[in-house]
């Protein structure tokens, strides 16, 4: 495989293009609403109408509007059909001849799309994830070729450093620095790991990227392998994502056939292999050291750091661990230059971020916006606010490690630092919107239950502390707690946050702390007065009615 | 079957494969895996019980997994679970005594756009109300009512 | 070996390069409480009792696995650390059934000693009072899960000193348990060599000797062979 071959494939692929292209979303969301049947029906309808020479039906990755699936986009007309049923296929096809049809059309000019800046997702919904040629036609693997032919490993590292890219897994560690640390170790064996153990409930960005554009992640990993001097990579994917696993396996096979993986990548002396490791349902394996233990086939329990994985990681060797989205950012940085990347976003947070917008919101789906976009633009302008006259109460970011940002802070720009100031984190990008019917204490309890069940059990504060925290929250929720219990809750949060071994425990109290900070009144109104005698009124039944408390945003404690 | 490596670090891979073939991991199977990979049996048992994905008991003929991710939760997945628990008489994570239905919850299946989602025998189904779920599961149970 | 100089609780201490903070402090007669640490076995940093403050580092670090560095300023006994340690002990006592008065280890228990040292005289959290059962199947030893603090000292001794790999942790989170082989009764374990090191390692009354009188002498020579195979061929199954 050489540059000429790459160009040939691209030209052949572009020559295959027909007058019309029907892009059918075949990502998990649409597949679960019969997306595959829609594509098959369209295929049949095209054959039946004798339009095979003019119309291409292409299965693609995520078309973003996951709440309205199955989605079909039509090129070059730029029309997006939503909620298509298989029997709609002939009607959809007839619109190509200019006929009108009553099918539900999405508005590609709506704010939901207009404010997006697709970078990681630039190919998502365009390329066929099952065909490497389709990715190559979108300039895929060109970055890898340029890197191998024109750049020395230190130059690659410095390009990443200059771009200002930060880890997209949540903590925001500078990616260039991580690469440089691994590259500088004195070991002969190094590893690259792609963390695709997207465990945060409410997050599906990595899944979409893997299902829509798997080759891009592979390309990012190979570039990383070259930059840090590794020959073996692993992708750790959750077992809950069978489609992503299947597409990755397929992508790896294709890349090997083309000589883009294996020995002598692009006919250079550089060798690189990628294996898939499948998780088995443990949230804690998103933590670096636990993930490595799991790749080694052991119980996914974290270990104390230092030593950091960059020095002593997988099998005791220096290991580079980055998240899916981080790797997906690498090819465009190489192709378009670090300066271009650094021009997007804010001073300290460069580039874009993919968010999975879900919960009590009009438009759910996948969005990618420049760093620094105000939260309000994301949830109100793009997401359309709460459905049916509801009112947004809070936005939860960062999953069980994050916090709830109240409506009064919606003008906060979304970047690493601003979210941390509010007691939340960027996290991997799940954004759950809550409206006035959502009970914040119950949300805190929900996340604590999650952390309790997902605690690995190694260190005491996380194993035993989350149990007690959950119990206290349930007690408050059942209106059986007193001020003393609330004090204990806060004391325990402090303990668990500061003494736990790994990130899971250290961040487990965040949802409690942030709801205590912004919605303390919801806790207080449930407390019983500290009477020596129990009050005569029977306690409210434990099944909570929807919270009727007045929405009182803007009362930070 | 597990000829793919016999490497000790492939333990989780091997267990995945074993569960795929046999449905669940019983003691004999785990003993066999330990022997083949030359690992202490306690190690295999420790790993198999650490990960929620592995079952040590046989599953029911049908499985119903309710997603309890945040997005599904705020949209009422808890009520779906409650309804199913009441209908089947078992708690989430258990199998009905007649071995017909296994009820489980998942920590987000990544289908938040279509919350609340329920997976019936591997098929993800969108926007399930308690009534939808009951209708489906009752079919499996063969309830006359 | 190069020596490092650091300050622990205001006292200048010199230590060898590869020593941990815990070792350096103990050499200087500065006590740091520990529970999951056991001299001679690999440390895991799990109990969090030995957490110390290091000036200039926002995070608390476990002394048992943190290496000494030149010029470190370590505090082992601040008011905050003492509070955390008390809370950790409360959590441990609330987690399972630690009723000292009826425990075989009463008076010889590290957990009990720690509680006394730290003035933890009552538990404010809800007792979980699980009913976890006791494995009395083994001829010589008993395992009372209700008294276990999951420090994994027994597991590490079994794997790294005896080399038998009989004991392990199963489950996760608060449902973690110490098991033998495939979670079978201890007596049915193929791999246990009945060496008793786990009993020696246990900080509480979770592992104990059954009645001290053993009337008959029994030998099990196969076990010797087993250990040799395990060591040399890395093969643990009989």
Model pLDDT, residue B2: 58
Ramachandran quadrant class, A164 (left: phi over 0; alpha: psi -120 to 50; beta: rest): left
Does residue A405 carry a pLDDT above 90?
A: yes
For the segment A392-400, the average pLDDT, to the nearest whole number, is 93
Model pLDDT, residue A555: 41
Residue C195 domain flag: yes
Chain C residues lying within 8 Å of A492, measured CB to CB: 87, 125
For the segment A198-222, the average pLDDT, to the nearest whole number, is 92
| Higher per-residue confidence, C221 vs A441 | A441
For the segment A9-25, the average pLDDT, to the nearest whole number, is 93
Contact B110 A296 (CB under 8 A): no
Question: Which of B15, B38, B110, B118 to substitute to test the interface with A, most A CBs within 10 Å?
Answer: B110
Residues A377, A125, A427, B53, Cα dihedral to 10°: 140
Q: Are residues C113 and C61 in the same domain?
A: no
For the segment A123-143, the average pLDDT, to the nearest whole number, is 95
Does residue A150 carry a pLDDT above 50?
A: yes
Q: What pLDDT band is residue A180 in, cutting at 50, 70 and 90?
A: very high
| Higher per-residue confidence, A299 vs A541 | A299
Domains of chain A: 18-108 (3.40.30.10), 139-342 (3.40.50.11540), 352-435 (3.10.20.600), 440-524 (1.20.1440.230)
**Joined tokens for residue B40:** 């202490």
User: Using CA atoms, how far apart are residues B103 and A488, in angstroms rounded to an integer?
Assistant: 35
Residue C238 domain flag: no
Domain end residue (candidates: C77, C111, C130): C77
Contact C236 B31 (CB under 8 A): no
Cis-peptide, bond into residue A306, ω within 30° of zero: yes
Does residue A110 carry a pLDDT above 80?
A: yes
Ramachandran quadrant class, A71 (left: phi over 0; alpha: psi -120 to 50; beta: rest): beta
Q: Are residues C227 and C130 in the same domain?
A: yes
CATH code: domain of residue C113: 3.30.70.20
Model pLDDT, residue C218: 61
For the segment A15-37, the average pLDDT, to the nearest whole number, is 90
Model pLDDT, residue A345: 95
Model pLDDT, residue B98: 86
Residue C40 domain flag: yes
Q: Are residues C9 and C126 in the same domain?
A: no
Q: Are A197 and A279 in contact (CB under 8 A)?
A: yes
Model pLDDT, residue A553: 41
* Residues C128-184 pLDDT 10s: 999 999 999 998 999 999 999 999 999 999 999 999 999 999 999 999 999 999 999
Touching C (3+ Cβ pairs <8 A), the chains are A, B
DSSP C159: I
Residue C221 domain flag: yes
Domains of chain B: 8-50 (no CATH), 62-141 (3.40.30.10)
Radius of gyration of chain A (CA): 25
| Higher per-residue confidence, A128 vs C106 | A128
CATH code: domain of residue C66: 3.10.20.740
Q: How far is CA C187 from the centre of its chain?
A: 23
- Sequence-ordered strand ranges (E) for chain C: 3-8, 11-16, 51-54, 61-62, 73-75, 134-135, 141-144, 167-170, 177-180, 207-209
User: Using CA atoms, how far apart are residues C137 and A86, in angstroms rounded to an integer?
Assistant: 63
DSSP A313: -
Residues of A within an 8 Å Cβ radius of C: 282, 299, 303-304, 452-461, 463-468, 471, 488, 491-492, 495, 498-501
Model pLDDT, residue A153: 96
Burial of A15 (0-12, 13-18, 19+ CB in 10 A): exposed
Q: Are residues C208 and C185 in the same domain?
A: yes
Q: Are B53 and A237 in contact (CB under 8 A)?
A: no
Model pLDDT, residue A548: 41
Touching B (3+ Cβ pairs <8 A), the chains are A, C
> What sections of C96-176 are H helices per DSSP?
110-117, 153-156
Q: Does A279 touch chain B (CB under 8 A)?
A: yes
Chain C residues lying within 8 Å of A458, measured CB to CB: 44, 46
Model pLDDT, residue B106: 83
Question: Which of C124, C173, C176 to substitute to test the interface with A, most A CBs within 10 Å?
Answer: C173
Model pLDDT, residue A132: 96
Q: Does A67 touch chain B (CB under 8 A)?
A: yes
- Exposure letters A334-358 (e unless 16+ CB within 10 A, then b): beeebeebeebbbeebbbbbbbbbb
User: Using CA atoms, how far apart are residues C211 and C136, in angstroms rounded to an integer?
Assistant: 11
Contact C168 B43 (CB under 8 A): yes
Residue C125 domain flag: yes
Q: Do the strands A20-25 and A72-75 form a parallel or antiparallel pair, or are they unpaired?
A: antiparallel
Q: Give CA angle at A302 (A299, A305), nearest 5°.
A: 150
Q: Are residues C134 and C224 in the same domain?
A: yes
User: Using CA atoms, how far apart are residues A296 and B39, in angstroms rounded to an integer?
Assistant: 13
Q: Are residues C104 and C154 in the same domain?
A: yes
Please enumerate in sequence order all residues whose Cβ is within 8 A of that of A184, keeping only pairs 6 or more positions apart, or say none.
none
User: Using CA atoms, how far apart are residues A350 and A179, in angstroms rounded to an integer?
Assistant: 17
Does residue A28 carry a pLDDT above 80?
A: yes
Residues listed for chain B: 145
Please enumerate in sequence order all residues whose Cβ is within 8 A of that of A482, keeping only pairs 6 or more positions apart, or say none.
A527, A528, A529, A530
Q: Are residues C42 and C159 in the same domain?
A: no
Structural domain harbouring C39 = 3-77
Phi and psi (nearest 5°) for B104? -145, 160
Q: What pLDDT band is residue C219 in, cutting at 50, 70 and 90?
A: low
Residue C202 domain flag: yes
Burial of A230 (0-12, 13-18, 19+ CB in 10 A): buried
Does residue A552 carry a pLDDT above 50?
A: no
Q: Are residues C89 and C48 in the same domain?
A: no
Q: Does C176 touch chain A (CB under 8 A)?
A: yes
Contact A300 B50 (CB under 8 A): yes
A471: closest chain C residue by CA: C126
> What sections of A274-323 are H helices per DSSP?
288-295
Q: Are residues C179 and C220 in the same domain?
A: yes
pLDDT > 90 in chain A, percent: 78
pLDDT > 70 in chain C, percent: 95
Burial of C203 (0-12, 13-18, 19+ CB in 10 A): buried
For the segment C111-122, the average pLDDT, to the nearest whole number, is 95
Residue C152 domain flag: yes
Total tally of structural domains belonging to chain C: 2
DSSP track, A254-278: HHHHTTSSBSSGGGSS--BEEEEEE
Q: Are C193 and C209 in contact (CB under 8 A)?
A: no
Q: What pLDDT band is residue C216 in, cutting at 50, 70 and 90?
A: very low
**Joined tokens for residue A384:** 């359309």
Cis-peptide, bond into residue A336, ω within 30° of zero: no
* Residues A263-295 pLDDT 10s: 999 999 999 999 999 999 899 999 999 999 999
> In what helix (H) or strand (E) does residue A368 lie, and over which residues does it extend?
strand A365-370
DSSP A298: S
User: Using CA atoms, how far apart are residues A39 and A25, in angstroms rounded to an integer?
Assistant: 8
Does residue C110 carry a pLDDT above 90?
A: yes
Q: Are residues C170 and C114 in the same domain?
A: yes
Model pLDDT, residue B144: 41
* Residues A47-62 pLDDT 10s: 999 899 999 999 999 9
- Exposure letters C27-54 (e unless 16+ CB within 10 A, then b): eeebebbbbbbbeebebbbbbbbbbbbb
DSSP track, A172-223: --BHHHHHHHHHHS--S--EEEEEE---STT--HHHHHHHH-HHHHHHHHHH
Chain A residues lying within 8 Å of C92, measured CB to CB: 460, 464
Residue C215 domain flag: yes
Least confident residue range of A128-132, A491-495, B70-74: B70-74
Model pLDDT, residue A557: 37
Domain end residue (candidates: C77, C104, C120): C77
- Which residue is it, tokens 């633009």? A377
Residues B26, A285, A226, A222, Cα dihedral to 10°: 70
When the pLDDT of each residue in chain A is averaged and rounded to a whole number, the result is: 91
Q: Are residues C114 and C216 in the same domain?
A: yes
Chain B residues lying within 8 Å of C171, measured CB to CB: 49-50
For the segment C18-30, the average pLDDT, to the nearest whole number, is 95
Domain end residue (candidates: C77, C94, C113): C77
Model pLDDT, residue A546: 43
User: Using CA atoms, how far apart are residues C141 and C158, in angstroms rounded to an integer?
Assistant: 14
Regions of chain B where pLDDT drops below 50: 144-145
User: Using CA atoms, how far apart are residues A89 and A98, in angstroms rounded to an integer?
Assistant: 15
Q: Are residues C104 and C130 in the same domain?
A: yes
User: Using CA atoms, how far apart are residues A115 and A111, in angstroms rounded to an integer?
Assistant: 6
- pTM of the full predicted structure? 0.90
For the segment A166-184, the average pLDDT, to the nearest whole number, is 93
């Amino acid at each position: 495989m050489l540059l000429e071959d790459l160009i040939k494939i691209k030209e052949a692929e572009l020559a295959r293009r027909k007058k019309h292209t029907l892009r059918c979303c075949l990502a998990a969301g649409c597949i679960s609403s019969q997306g595959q049947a829609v594509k098959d029906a369209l295929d049949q309808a095209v054959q039946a109408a004798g339009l095979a020479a003019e119309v291409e039906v292409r299965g693609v990755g995520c078309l973003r509007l996951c709440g309205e699936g199955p989605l079909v986009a039509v090129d070059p007309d730029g029309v997006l059909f939503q909620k298509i049923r298989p029997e709609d296929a002939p009607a959809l096809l007839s619109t190509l001849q200019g006929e009108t049809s009553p099918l539900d059309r999405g508005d590609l000019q709506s704010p939901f799309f207009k404010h997006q800046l697709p970078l990681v997702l630039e190919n998502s919904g365009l390329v066929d994830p099952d065909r490497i040629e389709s990715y190559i036609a979108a300039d895929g693997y060109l970055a890898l070729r340029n890197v191998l032919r024109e750049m020395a490993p230190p130059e690659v590292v410095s390009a990443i450093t200059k771009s200002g890219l930060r880890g997209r897994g949540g903590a925001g560690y500078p990616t260039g620095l991580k690469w440089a640390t691994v590259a500088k170790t004195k070991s002969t064996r190094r590893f690259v790991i792609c963390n695709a153990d997207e465990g945060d409930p409410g997050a599906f960005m990595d899944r979409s990227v893997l299902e829509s554009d798997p080759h891009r992640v592979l390309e990012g990993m190979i570039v990383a392998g070259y930059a840090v001097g590794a020959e073996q990579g692993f992708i750790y994917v959750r077992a809950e994502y069978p489609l992503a696993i299947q597409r990755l396996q397929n992508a790896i096979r294709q890349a090997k056939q083309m000589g883009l993986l294996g020995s002598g990548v692009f006919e250079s002396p550089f060798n690189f292999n990628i294996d898939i490791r499948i998780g088995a349902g443990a949230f804690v394996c998103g933590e670096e050291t636990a993930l490595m233990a799991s790749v080694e086939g052991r119980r996914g329990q974290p270990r104390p750091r230092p030593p950091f994985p960059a020095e002593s990681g997988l099998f005791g060797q220096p290991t580079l661990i980055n998240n899916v989205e981080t790797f997906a950012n690498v090819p465009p940085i190489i192709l378009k230059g670090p300066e271009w990347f650094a021009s997007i976003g804010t001073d300290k947070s460069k580039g874009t971020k993919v968010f999975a917008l879900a919960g009590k919101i009009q438009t759910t789906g996948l969005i990618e916006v420049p760093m620094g976009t105000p939260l309000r633009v994301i949830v109100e302008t793009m997401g359309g606010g709460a459905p049916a006259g509801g009112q947004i109460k809070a936005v939860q970011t960062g999953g069980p490690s994050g916090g709830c940002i109240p409506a009064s802070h919606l003008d906060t720009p979304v970047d690493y630092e601003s979210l941390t100031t509010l007691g939340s984190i960027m996290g991997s990008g799940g954004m759950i919107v809550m409206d006035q019917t959502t009970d914040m204490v119950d949300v805190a309890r929900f996340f604590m239950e999650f952390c309790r069940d997902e605690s690995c059990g190694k260190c005491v504060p996380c194993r035993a502390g989350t149990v007690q925290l959950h119990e206290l929250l349930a007690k408050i929720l059942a209106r059986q707690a007193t001020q003393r219990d609330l004090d204990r809750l806060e004391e325990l949060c402090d303990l668990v946050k500061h003494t736990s071994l790994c990130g899971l425990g250290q961040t487990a109290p965040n949802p409690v702390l942030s709801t205590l900070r912004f919605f303390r009144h919801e806790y207080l109104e449930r407390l019983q007065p500290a009477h020596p005698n129990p009050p005569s009124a029977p306690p409210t039944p434990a099944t909570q009615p929807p919270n009727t408390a007045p929405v009182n945003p803007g009362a930070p404690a | 079957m597990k000829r793919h490596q016999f490497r000790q670090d492939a333990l989780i891979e091997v267990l995945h494969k074993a569960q795929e073939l046999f449905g669940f991991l019983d003691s004999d199977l785990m003993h066999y895996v330990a022997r083949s990979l030359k690992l202490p049996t306690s190690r295999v048992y420790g790993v198999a019980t650490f990960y929620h994905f592995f079952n040590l008991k046989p599953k029911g003929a049908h499985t119903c997994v309710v997603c309890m991710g945040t997005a599904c939760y705020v949209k009422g997945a808890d009520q779906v679970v409650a309804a199913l628990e009441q209908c089947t008489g078992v708690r989430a994570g258990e199998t009905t005594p007649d071995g017909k239905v296994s009820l489980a919850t998942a920590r987000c299946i990544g289908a938040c756009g279509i919350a609340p989602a329920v997976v019936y025998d591997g098929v993800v189904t969108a926007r399930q109300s308690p009534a939808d779920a009951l209708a489906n599961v009752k079919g499996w149970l063969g309830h006359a009512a | 070996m190069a020596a490092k100089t650091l300050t622990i609780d205001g006292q200048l201490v010199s230590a060898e390069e590869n020593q941990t903070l815990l070792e350096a402090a103990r050499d200087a007669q500065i006590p740091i409480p520990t529970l999951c640490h056991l001299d001679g076995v690999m440390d895991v940093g799990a109990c969090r009792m030995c957490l110390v403050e290091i000036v200039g580092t926002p995070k608390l670090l476990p002394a048992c696995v943190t290496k000494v560095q030149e010029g470190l300023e370590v505090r082992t006994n601040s008011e905050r650390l003492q509070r955390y340690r008390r809370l950790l002990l409360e959590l441990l006592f609330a987690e399972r059934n630690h009723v000292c008065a009826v425990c075989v280890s009463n008076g010889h228990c590290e957990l009990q000693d720690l509680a006394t040292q730290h003035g933890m005289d009552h538990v404010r959290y809800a007792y979980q009072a699980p009913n976890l059962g006791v494995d009395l199947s083994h001829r010589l030893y008993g395992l009372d899960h209700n008294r276990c603090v999951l420090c994994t000292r027994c597991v590490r001794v079994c794997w790294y000193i005896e080399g038998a790999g009989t004991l392990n942790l199963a489950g996760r989170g608060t449902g973690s348990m110490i098991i033998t082989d495939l979670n079978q009764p201890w007596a049915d374990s193929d791999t246990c060599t009945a060496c008793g090191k786990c009993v020696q390692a246990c900080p509480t009354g979770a592992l104990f000797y059954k009645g001290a009188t053993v009337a008959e002498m029994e030998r099990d020579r196969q076990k010797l062979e087993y250990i040799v195979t395990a060591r040399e061929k890395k093969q643990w199954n009989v």
